[in-house]
């Protein structure tokens, strides 16, 4: 397991006004098959670990709410 810092990418659906801000770590997902998700307002807080299928479901849900 690597101790390199993760490269977090902010969702394009995250608001720029400090509201809903979700980030994910795509390079980690490619390397491990697990998708890490976090609240960008709390980068040291908990991370949600999802399967690629569950992450796709989360993205589809977010799109349907927009």
**Could you give the count of Cα atoms lying within 13 Å of 37 in the half-sphere of its Cβ?**
16
Q: How far apart are the first and last CA of the chain?
A: 37
pTM for the complete prediction? Answer: 0.79
Query: For each of the chain's 66 residues, which pLDDT tens digit applies?
Result: 456 789 999 877 666 665 668 899 999 999 999 999 999 889 899 999 999 999 999 889 888 886
- Other C-beta atoms closer than 10 Å to the C-beta of 42 total 9
Rounded Cα–Cα distance for residues 30 and 13 (Å) = 21
Q: Mind listing the pLDDT tens digit for each residue in 17-27?
A: 656 688 999 99
Listed by start position, the domains of the chain span 9-65
Q: Interior CA angle at 17 toward 36 and 34, to 5°? A: 5
Query: Residue 20's pLDDT is what?
Result: 67
């Amino acid at each position: 397991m690597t101790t390199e810092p993760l490269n977090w990418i902010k969702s394009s659906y995250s608001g720029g006004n400090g509201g809903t801000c979700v980030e994910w770590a795509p390079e980690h997902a490619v390397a491990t098959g697990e998708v890490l998700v976090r609240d960008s307002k709390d980068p040291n807080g908990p991370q949600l670990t999802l399967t690629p299928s569950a992450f796709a479901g989360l993205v589809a849900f977010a799109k349907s709410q927009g």
